[in-house]
Amino acid sequence: MSLDGARAQTAELGLRSERALAFFYDLRYNQGSGRLRAMQLDKLGQRAFTREIGRLPDEQEHLLMRANRTVERVRTIPPAVTPFMRQRRHVCPLGRGTVGGITFDLHQVGFRMRALITRESIPLSGDTKTLQRLQSGWVPGGGQ
């Protein structure tokens, strides 16, 4: 059930990667879908990103924006937990990370930034400055 929903949500947002599927599966499993509101926020974030950066976000940047938005929206967590939650949400977009003392490498277990269907690599912008902003929690159109 969650996997089918994650596939549908990934496709609805125009995302194609194995990591996007893993991200949405994890997100749905832990926080539910919240699809309509989340899709509206994604569109607003993409417009804000495009205005500020001058191009559309690539797949990785889109996932990082969604990750930051999900952290921002959970108002019940204590502020001390926010960095932990952000680290967890960033594992799928970045393909690696350490959460709770456990190091994850998604490439090693077969989740790459490649298309689910064709297995072709998905090109990324390589914009390290923007990636750093997103990793710090930047939410285009709101937040940091």
Q: Which residue from 142, 82, 141 is spatially nearest to 90, judged by alpha carbons? A: 82
Mean pLDDT, the chain, as a whole number? 87
Indicate the burial class of 51 (C-beta count within 10 angstroms; 0-12, 13-18, 19 or more).
Answer: exposed
Query: Which carries the bigger pLDDT value, residue 60 or residue 76?
Result: 60
State pLDDT tens for residues 3-41. Answer: 888 898 888 888 999 999 999 898 887 766 555 455 666
Question: DSSP string of 58-104?
Answer: -HHHHHHHHHHHHHHH-TTS-GGGHHHHHHHHHHHHHSEEEETTEEE
Note the pTM of the prediction, 2 decimals.
Answer: 0.87
State pLDDT tens for residues 79-136. Answer: 888 888 899 999 999 999 998 899 999 999 988 999 999 999 999 999 999 999 999 9
Does the structure show a pLDDT above 60 at 143?
no
Ranges of each domain in the chain? 2-135
